[in-house]
Amino acid sequence: MTKPEEGARLLASHTYGTWRPQKGWKKPLFITKAEGVYLYDDRDKSYLDFSSQLMCSNLGHGNKAIIEAICKQARELPYVFPGFACEAKARAVNSLLEVMPQGLNQFFFSTSGTEANEAALKIIRQYMDPRRKYKIISRYRSYHGSTAASIALTGGPRRWFAEPVNKIPGVIFAPDAYCYRCPFGLKYPDCSLQCAEYVDYMIKEEGNVAAILVEPIVGTNGIIVPPNEYLPRLREIADKNEVLLVVDEVMSGWFRTGKWFAVEHWGDTPDILTTAKGCTGAYAPVGITATTSEIRDFFEERFFSHGHTYTMHPLVISAIPAAIEEYKKLMATGLPQRVSEHLRKRLLVLMDNHECIGDVRGLGHFWAVELVKDRKTKEPFNTKADKAALKPLMVSKLSADMLNRGLYMAGWYNHFIIAPPLIITEEEVDKGVEIFDEVLTIADKEVKR
């Protein structure tokens, strides 16, 4: 058995720390077990998981039903190549047909959200090629994955590090539906929804746009919930201009926002939906690209030019039906619905008590707390540019302090992402919020007066 100290050092010495300079990747926390909403290190210190790891462990840790489904599959038939059918594949497809938004009934399986979006991009471009349309409208506040094409679709600062080497042609960025810092300087509802109307303008001016790609509720880049009319309007704009509407629900899916998928809040049916993370509760790596049968029919006589060795890998997709059953059972208890309201109230009270908080926004178990030095001017503590310049960030300082106090919470250059597992109780929410409350005083001291 590896000694924890050695194990952590081995990792730091021989693996790449992701999304960071390597110099600070020295001694990662050595986790020995996880149960419910807690993780434990080698000294048995507990950490309350307030971000479901990377907003993916939606069903919490140690779920026996999902673990058993994976173990059973490992014993019975861990792998057959994508061209063969088997029980695990049939069950995964059947369970998805039950929960996907209406009309999305053709699936491509991969092993990550990144790959789900890569597949979507290839499908879009092949499908729209006869119409000579290839451009994709994405948005600045977005993340769609780490590989060359999916990072090119990303508006967030992670793209900056990848450019120009990983730039692909034909991706353009639209202004965000970010009411707290409206890119047009307008105020909802007197804004005529400029953020959506501008997309219409872009499509007409560009002339060859194939698709609009959005996270219905922006994830890492700000947990931005759009105005109610936004997504229905994008659907209209897409239809009017014969452009596909593609939603990335890698993070916002699987009851993160209170529904199977975030688009259901507005009743929209996209042409393509990509997802991953919560589809297995993060018990196994799966990505899913779901399309309409109309798109699938296009490939009837044409080459579907995509695939992986691990497409529809039976071992990992065996977790999908098990997770879906667990979501159904959990939602039937009413616990997530009750606790999300409690979480909302507790976070809004934090805003009353801390001047360093500029905005609290979210839905379900998906919230952002955005920091400001000055509430009036909305001056942030840090910007995208600070992140890119590797400057010390206030959120990183606070996250480190929270971790010391037994609370794990993800932060992204100027906001925190509060996205606990859906199994969290009111008492556990209180415990996390209390630690957060104490730590926020550090930023309060640096607020401009």
Ligand X SMILES: Cc1ncc(COP(=O)(O)O)c(C=O)c1O
For ligand X, give the closer residue by CB, 176 or 215.
215
Task: Supply the minimum distance, in Å, between the C-beta of residue 243 and ligand X.
Answer: 20
For ligand X, give the closer residue by CB, 420 or 439.
420
For ligand X, give the closer residue by CB, 219 or 411.
219
For ligand X, give the closer residue by CB, 276 or 369.
276
Q: In angstroms, rounded to a whole number, what is the distance separating the alpha carbons of residues 385 and 11?
A: 29
User: Read out DSSP for 329-388?
Assistant: HHHHHTHHHHHHHHHHHHHHHHHHH-TTEEEEEEETTEEEEEEEEETTTTEES--HHHHH
For ligand X, give the closer residue by CB, 215 or 355.
215
Q: In angstroms, rounded to a whole number, what is the distance separating the alpha carbons of residues 384 and 365?
A: 25
Task: Supply the minimum distance, in Å, between the C-beta of residue 213 and ligand X.
Answer: 10
For ligand X, give the closer residue by CB, 113 or 321.
113
Task: Supply the minimum distance, in Å, between the C-beta of residue 6 and ligand X.
Answer: 28
Task: Supply the minimum distance, in Å, between the C-beta of residue 124 and ligand X.
Answer: 15
Q: Coil, strand, or helix at residue 113?
A: helix
Q: In angstroms, rounded to a whole number, what is the distance separating the alpha carbons of residues 55 and 257?
A: 11
For ligand X, give the closer residue by CB, 395 or 435.
395
What is the C-alpha end-to-end distance of the chain, expressed in Å? 54
Q: Report which residue's Cβ sits closest to ligand X.
A: 113
Q: Which residues bind ligand X (CB under 6 A)?
A: 54, 112-114, 117, 143-146, 215, 219-220, 248, 250-251, 276
Enter the tokens of residue 430.
């209180």
* 161-181 per-residue burial string, b: 16 or more CB within 10 A, e: under 16: ebeeeeeeeebebbbbbbbee
Task: Supply the minimum distance, in Å, between the C-beta of residue 284 and ligand X.
Answer: 12
CB-CB contact of 250 with 277 (8 Å): yes
Nearest one of 399, 412, 404 to 443, comparing CA atoms: 399
Q: In angstroms, rounded to a whole number, what is the distance separating the alpha carbons of residues 234 and 224?
A: 16
Task: Supply the minimum distance, in Å, between the C-beta of residue 136 and ligand X.
Answer: 14
Task: Supply the minimum distance, in Å, between the C-beta of residue 220 and ligand X.
Answer: 5
